[in-house]
Amino acid sequence: MKILVTGGAGFIGSAVIRHIISNTTDSVINVDKLTYAGNLESLAEASLSPRYAFEHVDICDRNQMDRVLNEYQPDAIMHLAAESHVDRSITGPSEFIQTNIIGTYTLLEAARHYWASLDTARKKDFRFHHISTDEVYGDLEGPEDLFTETTPYQPSSPYSASKASSDHLVRAWARTYGLPTLVTNCSNNYGPCHFPEKLIPLIILNALEGKSLPVYGKGDQVRDWLYVEDHARALYCVVTKGAVGETYNIGGHNEKQNIEVVRALCELLDDLCPDSAFHPHASLITYVEDRPGHDQRYAIDASKIQRELGWVPEETFETGLRKTVEWYLNNPEWVAHVKSGSYQQWIDQNYAGRPNSA
């Protein structure tokens, strides 16, 4: 297969590409705008393969997307390009509307016209796989509730609302035009090459530098954590084996409160960095004012993808978290390159002005 991956220089997209290049004979076309969160260094090894190609293109540029599709003739599109950081969506929602909604619409139209031009056999086999988030479902009520593929949408943030909108667009293009689509909604990802404004890499890198470890509110928000390489396997499984028109929820079966995650990271750093001047690292934990509209609990029912496609996560939270911490400790150059001035300005803007909540 030839698979076009949008957002392939991002955290999850780069994991998908690394998986495809390392574990299959398929070819990949990486289409990425290279915003602050796009990092081609995450694809250093994969980019050496003759089965890899990169196009520096914005999915909102219809002419360029038409060109890329016609030139490379992909058999499938895996759409991961998105603005994804909730806090950034609160302070500046316009980029999320542009990329997540207008960009998805533009890509759908380009894909629809490309798909219509294919011969009968290739048209039948073509797939448009839209990768989304469990945040579109909103906040779970009961402690035993789980998100299923039929849970009503109740997005809480500009980010999740923009992703919910893109999900609806994909399903509308399937229903109206017959475009063969698949949708997946995943829980919180973590692992190597994660941009360091997200919780787990932020805590790791702040702890290594002796900076405060900011925890929103009481830190009692619950998330289901999914190791990114497990997610990459699941996404490839869906695009190659999933039934057209179906939605698959992907979760790691690892529900943890945010404060539990932070304390587990501190314990790992105490173990792996016993000579650190900031030992014990838990002493750096600081509780800060919660963000607006913060959902309390997400949890995925991933039984459908296990039952129908045979996917289950390979990593436990403990094994995945240790691999993640070790990766950051072993890749200081990647970290140094990704922590640009603009990233640091954002961190200062988002956390410096928040009063302590304790």
Compute the C-alpha angle 20/25/26, nearest 5°: 60
Per annotation, catalytic residue among 83, 87, 134, 315: 134
Q: What residues contact residue 22 under an 8 Å CB cut-off, 6+ apart?
A: 46
Please, which contacts does 139-147 make with residues 24 or more away whose CB atoms are closer than 8 Å?
139/295, 139/296, 139/297, 139/298, 140/296, 140/297, 140/298, 140/299, 143/297, 145/299, 146/299, 146/300, 146/301, 147/185, 147/249, 147/298, 147/299, 147/300, 147/301
Least Cα distance to 242 among 127, 120, 90 occurs for 127
Comparing C-alpha atoms, which of 219, 187, 232 is closest to residue 16?
A: 232
Instruction: Verify whether residue 159 is a known catalytic residue.
Output: yes
Q: Which of these, 174, 30, 183, lies nearest to 112 by C-alpha position?
A: 174
- Quick count: other Cβ atoms within 10 Å of Cβ 346? 18
As a whole number of angstroms, the distance between CA 299 and CA 146 comes to 5
Place of tokens 């956390």: 351
135 given a catalytic annotation: yes
Which of 87, 135, 167, 230 is the catalytic position?
135
Q: Residues of 58-67 as b/e, b for ≥16 C-beta within 10 angstroms?
A: bbbeeebbbe
Beta 255-257 vs 222-227: how paired, if at all? antiparallel
Tokens, residue 312 = 């289950």
| Catalytic entry in 52, 114, 159, 248 | 159
Which SS3 state, helix, strand or coil, does residue 129 take?
Answer: strand
* Owner of token pair 């539990």: 260
Tell me if residue 253 falls in helix, strand or coil: coil
Active site residue 134: yes
Q: Are 28 and 20 in contact (CB under 8 A)?
A: yes
Residues involved in catalysis: 134-135, 159
